[in-house]
Structure 1
Amino acid sequence: MAPSALQPPTRLTPTAALALSQQAPAILRRSVSTAYPPPLNKLLSGSETSDKWLQYENLIQSCLRTGDDQAAHACLKRLTVRFGDHNERVQALRGLVKEAEARNNGELEEVLKEYNQILSGNGTNIPITKRRIALLRSMGRLSDATSALVQLLDFSPTDAEAWSELSAIYLSQGLYPQAIYAMEEVLVLAPNAWNIHARLGELQYMAATAPGVANGSSQQYMAEAIRRFSRSIELCDDYLRGYYGLKLVTRKLLSEGAKAAKQTEDSELTLPDTNTIERLNELATAKLSDIVRHSASHDRGWRGYSEAEIAAARDLLGEDRSPTTR
């Protein structure tokens, strides 16, 4: 199935992004009348939907990703004519195009100056604020990006995307407690998001296995990882990433002979007993085996997994010295 221009471009594989960018000329030809400014566009272009403009936004990102700058500019022009030069989303997309076309750090600095100038006149411009943060991070200025994110979250504390970005920046610097804290804030805003539960489990696992971590802290991190992965698959029964994480954690605990710690006043969560860990490991192994087998056979209802995820699950199962006997 051909990719849709309404799909989030960040979720597209390189092949799908290329296929989508190749559709841009045809999409632009079909909607040529949208180039009229308002109110003429309403008279000459017929009905207007939000999907049309979302399609242009997504096409810009896919075209930039595949090097089709001409089509990206054509989409940006349509959005500019429709919504105006000072529209915040249009300003952010224009900045994205300039970032993609920048040939060196000097040109990126010029884009950054433009962002600063826009924000000096309107400090509440969230799209430009986020583009500035993304640019700072891409330039390796992590301290500045972190400060800008903290300021954004002071202004907009319910921005889950900003909390997630802050967690990623902390993680890139090996600051696991801070990364976990920021991701927990995402979970507060989306308590039933199984992917966030699994992501938090991954952070807990990385913190537990980091060099120099104390044994007591490691056990608490591992216990929390089990809890998060278990919750993710409780919310989504076929979530591969949740089962993968649960398998990874329980296998490590069993290989190290970890035992449940006694409950203390300073510890709210401890490891389950060995029997429970073994049962969780068997559950994860069986489910991953089913997912890999059905996906390889292209069975209906089992086709939503990426090839990379299936390959990783297959490798993890292959490393198991005592595979499940069926």
Structure 2
Amino acid sequence: MATSLLQPPTSTSPETALRLSQKASSFVNSQSSWFSSLPYPLSLLFSSESQEKWQVYENLFLACLRTGDNDTAHACLEELTARFGKVNDRIVALTGLYREATAQDDQELAEVMKNYEDILKDDPTIFSIRKRRAALMRSVGHASEAITALTNLLDQSPTDAEAWAELGDLYLEQGSYDQAIYCLEEVVVVTPNAWNMHARLGEVIFLSAGRTEGGDQLKALSESMRRFCRSIELCDDYLRGYYGLKLATDRLLEALSTSKKSQQSSADPVTGDLAPPSISSVKKLNEAATAKLGEIVRRSSSGERGWDGYSESELIAARELLERGTQKIER
């Protein structure tokens, strides 16, 4: 449980979030004492202090919101507020998130939005509130306004990887693949070792390849394959990376075998384009991805120690992908 409590909330599976929320109440009670009721900053004089402690509180807060345990989430929020104060930017954002999650109707959500607007009128530099405002716009279906809000934010903070990723997701929902790819490329520039973002970029490029044909399709599939390769280079056991690599190489082998040489794009040193890989190279990558996926599914399904951190839905998808490949060979 300790490892899960310190992991970023975005990497927590639904099963783990439920397990954490079930233990959150006992954790909060164990941490409570008479000095926790003191107003900030007097509470600091008696409170045990560590960065891990407050990370645990925040992760439990988010896990409880995800699972609908609003009372325990509120208790965690109160502890964080007692430690950091109501005017702390992050506490203000977490408070807004709590109000969003517990809103009963559109009117209450509108009140949360108005509160964000009032805060930003007083201080437009609170980027955490600007992000929450954009996220709320997206959740109520105002995608174009959310895109505008995030674009304005990134004009002032161009190295905000979280905002770039959110903007990329918004463009992807609108079917604007080129813009989504551009945003995700900015993410990997800011966080070059984020293997999940390399895989995400590979997925979007793979999807965009379905709208092209000929040399452009080969170029997109080749780039998608390279992104998945970079992902598993950074994280050797990343299931999503191997899944994407198998999909990309399967499609690339079909495209290479059916395309004419005149349709295949060549390397262009001026634009930096790379020529499509050889069929033999793609086959080797496909075989490696297939073997690794099989190993992950086999060892994780058997409950082998050290292979139990995978999402069940991703394991099912990987198993189905492997079975489809087996059916093709049998035919």
- TM-score, with normalisation over the residues of structure 2? 0.89
Structure-to-structure mapping, 1:190-209, within 5 angstroms: 190-209=191-210
> Percent identity among equivalent residues?
52
Native 8 Å contact 1:282 1:324 kept in 2: no
Relative distance call for 1:16 and 1:237 in structure 2 (3 A) is closer
TM-superposed CA distance for 1:216, in Å, is 2.8
Indicate yes or no: 2:293 matched with 1:292. no
5+ long unaligned stretches in structure 1: none
Indicate yes or no: 2:26 matched with 1:26. yes
Q: Which amino acid aligns with 2:197?
A: I
Indicate yes or no: 2:241 matched with 1:218. no
Corresponding residue number in structure 2 for 1:110: 111
Native 8 Å contact 2:41 2:83 kept in 1: no
Corresponding residue number in structure 2 for 1:302: 307
Native 8 Å contact 1:3 1:20 kept in 2: no
Corresponding residue number in structure 2 for 1:132: 133
**Alpha-carbon RMSD:** 2.3
Structure-to-structure mapping, 1:76-87, within 5 angstroms: 76-87=77-88
Native 8 Å contact 2:4 2:16 kept in 1: no
Q: Which moved more, 1:130-139 or 1:316-325?
A: 316-325
Q: Which moved more, 1:289-298 or 1:93-102?
A: 289-298
TM-superposed CA distance for 1:83, in Å, is 2.2
Q: Which moved more, 1:216-225 or 1:270-279?
A: 270-279
Distance 2:174 2:291 in 1: 35
Corresponding residue number in structure 2 for 1:35: 37
Corresponding residue number in structure 2 for 1:271: 276
Native 8 Å contact 1:317 1:323 kept in 2: no
Q: Which moved more, 1:157-166 or 1:77-86?
A: 77-86
Distance 2:107 2:40 in 1: 37
Q: Which moved more, 1:65-74 or 1:216-225?
A: 65-74
Native 8 Å contact 2:199 2:241 kept in 1: yes
Flag the structure with higher helix content.
2
5+ long unaligned stretches in structure 2: none
TM-superposed CA distance for 1:214, in Å, is 4.1
Aligned length: 322
Relative distance call for 1:144 and 1:314 in structure 2 (3 A) is same
Q: Deviations over 1:173-214 (max 9, x none)?
A: 11111100000001111222222221111111000013xx34
Corresponding residue number in structure 2 for 1:234: 233
Relative distance call for 1:241 and 1:129 in structure 2 (3 A) is same
Q: Which amino acid aligns with 1:37?
A: P
Corresponding residue number in structure 2 for 1:14: 14
Q: Which moved more, 1:7-16 or 1:133-142?
A: 7-16
TM-superposed CA distance for 1:278, in Å, is 1.8
Distance 2:120 2:321 in 1: 48
SS of the equivalent of 2:158 reads: coil
Relative distance call for 1:26 and 1:255 in structure 2 (3 A) is same
Q: Which amino acid aligns with 1:263?
A: S
Q: Which amino acid aligns with 1:286?
A: A
Q: Which moved more, 1:70-79 or 1:263-272?
A: 263-272
Q: Which moved more, 1:23-32 or 1:107-116?
A: 23-32
Native 8 Å contact 1:163 1:182 kept in 2: yes
Distance 2:29 2:151 in 1: 43
Relative distance call for 1:236 and 1:3 in structure 2 (3 A) is closer
Q: Which amino acid aligns with 1:7?
A: Q
TM-superposed CA distance for 1:166, in Å, is 0.8
SS of the equivalent of 1:303 reads: coil
SS of the equivalent of 1:140 reads: coil
Native 8 Å contact 2:41 2:85 kept in 1: no
- TM-score, with normalisation over the residues of structure 1? 0.91
Q: Which moved more, 1:253-262 or 1:19-28?
A: 253-262
Relative distance call for 1:83 and 1:238 in structure 2 (3 A) is closer
Q: Which amino acid aligns with 1:77?
A: E
Distance 2:9 2:267 in 1: 48
